[in-house]
Amino acid sequence: MAKKARSVQRREESLSRESIIEASIELLDSSGEGGLTFRTLSERLATGPGALYWHIANKSDLLTAACDAIVARTMEAIPPCAKPKANLRALALGMFDAIDEHPWVGSALAQAPGEMPMVRILERLGQQVRALGAEDDTQWAAVGALLNYILGVGGRNAANGQLARERGLDRSDFLEAVAAAWSQLDPREYPFTRSVAGQVRDHDDRMEFLAGIDLILRGIERGIESPRRR
Amino acid sequence: MAKKARSVQRREESLSRESIIEASIELLDSSGEGGLTFRTLSERLATGPGALYWHIANKSDLLTAACDAIVARTMEAIPPCAKPKANLRALALGMFDAIDEHPWVGSALAQAPGEMPMVRILERLGQQVRALGAEDDTQWAAVGALLNYILGVGGRNAANGQLARERGLDRSDFLEAVAAAWSQLDPREYPFTRSVAGQVRDHDDRMEFLAGIDLILRGIERGIESPRRR
DNA sequence: ACCTGAACACCGTTCAAGT
DNA sequence: ACCTGAACACCGTTCAAGT
């Protein structure tokens, strides 16, 4: 019962932007978007909330920086490949998996348009679409379609994860609840939604995501084959 | 200087879910996402914050309901047309315009996966994709691609509008700032992003959005023409 | 230069008390 | 049944004061 340990553990290393971001990622991963708070964060770093402001501008800056760290790692981890199409698929899947592992990245990405994390993705997509042979005036539409699709899926996955967490369910239980609600819609007004309710229940998110990417890639290829009518 | 007017105006009609949602939409339109507060809302409705809870479950419920009101109106306003492809384009453009007019709808939509507002869009998209002649097993991918693309663009437009508002800029000034930041990136690391910086400045968002939709539609058509290899 | 932590100006939500 | 408004338990952010 020696009392030599201090009641509040003091930090050994001095605070830094990197250590703050790292702690934020841990917090976001373990407790979701609502888990990142200047108070919990400063507690975990054994300091006061005000100290954080010496290293980061504000909460939005912090969230974007945490998101960027994940995106940068994800981009680095994607094995390079000679074929642009395979590259694009790997890129998209890499982002899908990253958001699956860190759902908060999906919404952080959406909240920081034009910022670094989005630029990293944009750049990689753009280079590969170029390599695919798209003409200058169609590149932008192709990259935009891929980027927005990825962001759309990411945002939705983030929201699914967030809602499931709030209600104390896991992802599949949550999707089960959605499917149940859909199958009780009025069949005259919502025939399509009702008919796909079953698919929501037991589909493979990842494969479905990839099917969408392939569909967009088909559209891009077709645009390249028959370039423009005049 | 008569004092017969009460200092706080009292409401004439009793509170209702509809009137609360209507007032929320006005507040969101005029002051952005941060403008919707139980205090400002109850002030505007000449009541106390607690009263609102008799009619709505919580803030997320309120936001989704406000979003659903806009989406429902948007769906109703789209003129029906015999050609599924034209219908899909009109549907997508309708949502684009709705989010352009009410940027908060973009993020509210993303936050309510599987809820009514999203189901309305899903259903309309699904019916038209079916009419296009897609087989059962490819319908879901096609609808998913369109829906996620629309959600992705919507989310990004919402974020653009929100950030511009926070910084007191209008949309084009904000995009100008993004373009300026992009054109100062390292040309060796970010050649693509730099090369499209100019396009960000003076592109037409709406037309670009439509180009993406057309690209996806091409991919869907191609999938229909050469269904599946075996 | 960097950190501390109390204080400020907010939030969403609850709930006893009223009508 | 519906409304009131004070109170609760939080937020992000600031800033005088410390080292």
**For residue range B181-194, what is the model confidence (pLDDT) as tens digits?**
999 999 999 999 99
Q: Is A193–B114 a contact, with Cβ atoms under 8 angstroms apart? A: no
* Element holding B74 (H helix, E strand): helix B59-77
Q: How far is the CA of A176 from the C1' of D13 (A)?
A: 41
Total CB pairs under 8 A between chain A and B: 164
- Residues of chain A in contact with residue B88, where contact means CB-CB under 8 angstroms, are none
**Residue B110's closest CA among A27, A163, A96?**
A163
Question: What is the least distance, in Å, from the CA of B24 to any CA of chain A?
Answer: 22
Residue B55 approaches strand D within 7 Å at CB: yes
Which chain A residue lies closest to B196 (C-alpha atoms)?
A140
Average pLDDT of B205-220? 96
Cβ–Cβ contact A141 with B under 8 A: yes
Using the CA of A62, which nucleotide's C1' is the nearest one?
D12
Q: What is the pLDDT of residues A73-99, one digit of tens each?
A: 999 999 989 999 999 999 999 999 999
Any long-range contacts for A4-10 (C-beta under 8 Å, 24+ apart)?
Answer: A8/A46, A9/A46, A10/A46
Angle at which helices A17-31 and A59-77 cross, to 10°: 80
d(CA B82, CA A71): 44
pLDDT of the residue at B14: 79
Residue-level pLDDT at A34: 95
Q: For position A22, what pLDDT does the model report?
A: 98
pLDDT of residue A137: 81
pLDDT of A6 > 50? The answer is: no
CB contact (8 A) between residue B140 and residue A222: no
**Interatomic distance B46 CA / C16 C1' (Å):** 21
Q: Strand C closer than 7 Å to the CB of B190? A: no
Confidence of residue B171 (pLDDT cuts 50, 70, 90): confident
Please give the pLDDT value at position B79. 92
CB contact set of A7 (below 8 Å; sequence gap of 6+): none
Q: In this predicted structure, what is the pLDDT of residue A2? A: 33
Report pLDDT for B193: 97
Show which of residues 153-192 on chain A sit within 8 Å of chain B, judged by CB atoms: 153, 155-156, 158-160, 163, 178, 181-182, 185, 189-192
Neighbour tally for A155: CB within 10 Å: 28
Sign of the alpha-carbon dihedral angle for B164, B168, B171, B176:
negative
* Residues of chain B found within 8 Å of residue A126, distances taken between Cβ atoms: 192-193, 195-196
Q: Considering chain B, what percentage of its residues have pLDDT values greater than 70?
A: 93
pTM of the model: 0.92
Measured between beta carbons, which residues in chain B are less than 8 angstroms from residue A127? 191-192
Distance CA B81, CA B58 (A): 39
Which domains, ranges and CATH numbers included, belong to chain B?
Answer: 1-56 (1.10.10.60), 67-225 (1.10.357.10)
Beta carbons of A67 and A117 less than 8 angstroms apart: yes
Tell me what the mean pLDDT of segment B37-63 comes to: 97
